[in-house]
Chain A
Amino acid sequence: MNDTLETTVLGIGWLDTGAFGCVRRKERTSFGEQAGVQPPWKDMELLGGPVKNFGRFDAVSRLTCCACALALRDAGIPVEDCRKLDAGLIGTNTGGSIDANRAYFSDYLKAGRKLGSSHLFIYTLPTSPLAESAIHFGLKACNLYIVHPGGGIQKLLDDANLLIADGQAARIMAVKAHSNEAICFLLGPGEVGAGKSLPLGEVRKLVAGLDSVADTALKLEKAL
């Protein structure tokens, strides 16, 4: 355990039903605001090319993937380069995969309790959205879902930092994602300074008590 390691926040990407953005770059785009602006899930440059099976993904998986891509853009790391990094994923939300669980079992009941849909079943794990992003971005270190009831984003950042300090990954994408919003923090060692990276401690303080993605993104944009 290397507790002396200084973890920084290299990039923060987010999206919800109204907008998407990159916090460090102070980019914020409302859906439908600018002609010609692609939403993240259609922006092949942002995603680093087609995402295999994207059409099959459940909503949480799609938003997780887009938030990761936005965090990478915020950090100035091309998707192609991300695949060469020692990086892992940690995710959180409220309720885990409960929406996907209901979708699978409702479909199974509709089919007369005879045949389940394997496509729906594979999203019935809280880690399924993280696994889809790990496949696309080539994240070969840890992959796990943790929820601290009432813990919010601060706990997510603490858990990500613990994994880095333990040597499980040099960089971690820490994602909070629901079916209508997602935010991703890319954590890792970095040089703190203008336009480079942000001290984790500072970001931790700013997100204390925050839960919604929109509130978190707004507060961080204003403060940083």
Chain B
Amino acid sequence: MSVVVVEHDLVTAYGPGLGKCWQGLLSGKPAFSRVERFNTDAFQCHIAALVPSLNASDSSSLVMQMMRPLLNPLKGKLPAGTEVILASTTGEVDLMQRHLLGEAKADESRLELLLEKIQGLLQVRGKGLVVSAACASASVAVAHAGMLIESGRKESVLVVACDAVSEFVYSGFSSLMALDPEGARPFDRSRKGLTIGEAAGYVLLMGSESARRGKRNVLCEVAGWGLSCDANHMTGSSRDGVPLSMAIQKALRKSGVVSGSIGSISAHGTGTPYNDSMEIKAFRLAFGKTPVPTYSVKGAIGHTMGAAALVDMLVAIKSLDERVVPPSVNARDIDPEAAGWVSSSAIQASGMNAVLSTNSGFGGINTALVLKS
């Protein structure tokens, strides 16, 4: 049985909807702005990719402000028995900040509580689950959903992913000296780090047979997934790209798609020197000498952490649908290592029927998803 995507939506710094995100990417203009939510004077960087209209003084958390309008249309409309998986790294960590600052009585930042709130919004019964795997959280969640469907344990799974720009994560990434003051430039020769972003999104996955019975519109197939770990360093990626290439090989093998049929790669592409270099090495190991058009969205909408892999997946689906490989926004002077692979311009890809989306997170966690139209 194959696993298919039947519904999806997201909100990014470009605003609500995949259409806006896609148009933003094609415009080549990053959605970065100065952070006013908290004081950044002490940090190396002052910008982030912020979702318009979020209010840090609101009584609800930043991620719930993204979730409400996003999930409202799904209320009561999910197939019976749908399992809900929440993918996130820090979730409502802004609630913990308020508690420690004496602005809230209790710390209600546990991911399990956020899952409960999401299920309440959706009016679904059942316990659901939380998946967290650093910045690959959402793709691990999609892989887990795929396993649940393929094994017959579930007929439909909703993966919801989110993370917000908080003082907590901003100060943390700043302490790691991981932020580029000029904005992330994935695969650029002069890249210096990432730009933090925020996003929320969901994808409803079903078994192909259940989707057919439910007369659902199939948007794409999640044909394969692969997981691996560098087992090398907590914050630094492997230098040789072998572990990520192992995840790619697993995903390709599972999908039955040969490497030559992959039309484009949505890379994790954070904009840190080591990550981007590692990824290109992994792609060369998996695909050989013939470059595959590769891009990263993080020079446009920032690194959205636990939501990043879901945003990447949805952009990859749009790319498959439009038969266009989006540009790597902000990559102005492509690193020679990535030459021939990465482009700062959009590319028409009329024959593209399968794409790869990869993610890598702290702790050396790697994922690869193969998507087919």
B residues in contact with A104, CB < 8 Å: 168, 172
Q: How far is the CA of A1 from the CA of B231 in the complex (A)?
A: 25
Task: Give the chain A neighbours of B234 by CB distance below 8 A.
Answer: 122, 128, 131-132, 135
Residues of B within 8 A of A165 (CB): 147, 151
Chain A residues near B140 (CB-CB < 8 A)? 142, 144
Interface residues of A in 119-164 (CB under 8 A from B): 121-122, 124-128, 130-132, 134-135, 137-151, 159, 162-163
For A117, list chain B residues within 8 Å (CB): 175
Interface window among A6-14, A18-26, A95-103, A204-212? A95-103
Report which of A96, A102, A148 forms a contact with B132, defined as CB distance below 8 A: A96
A-contact bits for B218-236, CB 8 A (1 contact / 0 none):
0000000011111111110
| Number of cross-chain contacts by CB at 8 Å | 176
Interface pair A127/B363, CB less than 8 Å apart: yes
> Contacting chain A: which of B50-58, B106-114, B290-298?
B106-114
User: Is the CB–CB distance between A1 and B174 below 8 Å?
Assistant: no
Per-residue 0/1 for B332-365: is the Cβ within 8 Å of any A Cβ (1 yes, 0 no)? 0000000000000000000000000000011111
The yes or no answer to A30 lying at the interface (CB within 8 A) is: no
Contacts of B172 in A (CB 8 A): 104, 116, 118, 121, 124
Write the A84-122 contact mask toward B (1 if CB under 8 angstroms, else 0): 000011000011101001101110110001111110011
Tell me if B93 counts as interface (CB < 8 A to partner A): yes
Q: Taking the complex as formed, is A167 at the interface, i.e. its CB lies under 8 A from any CB of chain B?
A: yes
Question: Are B227 and A168 in touch, CB under 8 angstroms?
Answer: yes
Give the contact stretch, choosing among B59-67, B123-131, B206-214. B123-131
Given A113-B39, A168-B226, check contact A144 B365 (CB 8 Å).
yes
B363 touching A3 by the CB < 8 A rule? Answer: no
Contact A135 B254 (CB under 8 A): no
Contact status of A144 and B109, CB under 8 A, knowing A1-B150, A124-B172, A130-B363:
no
Number of interface residues of B (CB under 8 A): 58
Q: How far is the CA of A96 from the CA of B107 in the complex (A)?
A: 13
Q: Is the CB of B131 within 8 A of A145?
A: yes
Question: How many Å lie between the Cα of A142 and that of B110 in the bound state?
Answer: 24
Chain B residues with Cβ under 8 A from A130's Cβ? 363
Q: Which residues of A contact B101 (CB under 8 A)?
A: 109
Among A101, A106, A142, A159, the one with the most B-chain Cβ atoms within 10 Å of its Cβ is: A142
* Closest residue on chain A to residue B238 by CB atoms: A140
* A116 CB contacts on chain B under 8 angstroms: 171-172, 174-175
Interface status of A166 (Cβ within 8 A of chain B): yes
Q: Does B258 contact A (CB under 8 A)?
A: no
A101 and B96 form a contact (CB under 8 A): yes
Count of residues in A whose CB is under 8 Å from the partner chain: 55
Is A134 in contact with B226, judged by CB distance below 8 angstroms?
A: no
Q: A102-B96, A116-B175 are in contact. Are A88 and B362 (CB under 8 A)?
A: no
From A169, which residue of chain B is reached at the shortest CB distance?
Answer: B227
Contact of A96 among B111, B171, B231, B363 (CB under 8 A): B111
Asked if B80 is at the interface of the complex by the 8 Å CB criterion, the answer is no
* Contact across chains for B147 and A135 when beta carbons are under 8 A apart: no
Report the nearest B residue to A136, measured CB to CB. B231
Inter-subunit contact A102/B115 (CB<8 Å): no
A52 to B39 alpha-carbon distance, docked (Å): 36
B111–A88 touching, CB < 8 Å: no
Tell me whether A98 and B364 are in contact (CB under 8 A). no
B130 near A146 with CB under 8 A, answer yes
Q: Which residue of A lies closest to B128 (CB)?
A: A149
Instruction: Tell whether, in the assembled complex, residue B127 and residue A139 are in contact, meaning their CB atoms are under 8 Å apart.
Output: no
Give the complex CA separation of A114 and B116 in angstroms. 34
Contact between chains at A145 and B132 (CB < 8 Å): yes
Q: Which residue of B lies closest to A162 (CB)?
A: B147
Q: How far is the CA of A141 from the CA of B49 in the complex (A)?
A: 32
Chain B residue at smallest Cβ distance from A151? B127
> Smallest Cβ distance from B309 to chain A, in angstroms?
12
Name the one of A143, A150, A159 contacting B127, with C-beta atoms under 8 angstroms. A150
Q: How far is the CA of A137 from the CA of B127 in the complex (A)?
A: 33
B329 sits at the interface (CB 8 A): no
Closest-by-CB residue of A relative to B227 is A142
Counting CB contacts under 8 A, is B97 at the interface? Answer: yes
Instruction: Pick the residue among A1, A101, A132, A146 that contacts B129 (CB under 8 A).
Output: A146
Is B184 among interface residues, defined by CB-CB distance under 8 A?
no
User: Looking at the complex, which one of B42, B100, B116, B228 makes contact with A102 (CB distance below 8 Å)?
Assistant: B100
- What's the least CB distance linking B295 to chain A, in Å? 26
Query: B148 on the interface (CB 8 Å rule)?
Result: yes
Kindly list chain A residues whose C-beta atoms are within 8 Å of the C-beta of B361. 127
| 5 A-B residue pairings within 8 Å (CB atoms) | A121-B175, A125-B89, A125-B134, A159-B144, A165-B151
Extra contacts besides A102-B107, A148-B128 (15): CB < 8 Å: A1-B147, A88-B229, A101-B90, A118-B175, A118-B176, A126-B111, A131-B134, A132-B363, A139-B229, A140-B243, A140-B246, A143-B133, A162-B151, A162-B153, A168-B227
Chain A interfacial positions (CB closer than 8 Å to B)? 1, 3, 88-89, 94-96, 98, 101-102, 104-106, 108-109, 113-118, 121-122, 124-128, 130-132, 134-135, 137-151, 159, 162-163, 165-168
* Residues of B that sit less than 8 Å from A by CB: 39, 42, 89-90, 93, 96-97, 100-101, 107, 109-112, 115-116, 127-134, 140, 143-144, 147-148, 150-151, 153, 167-168, 171-172, 174-176, 226-235, 243, 246, 250, 254, 361-365
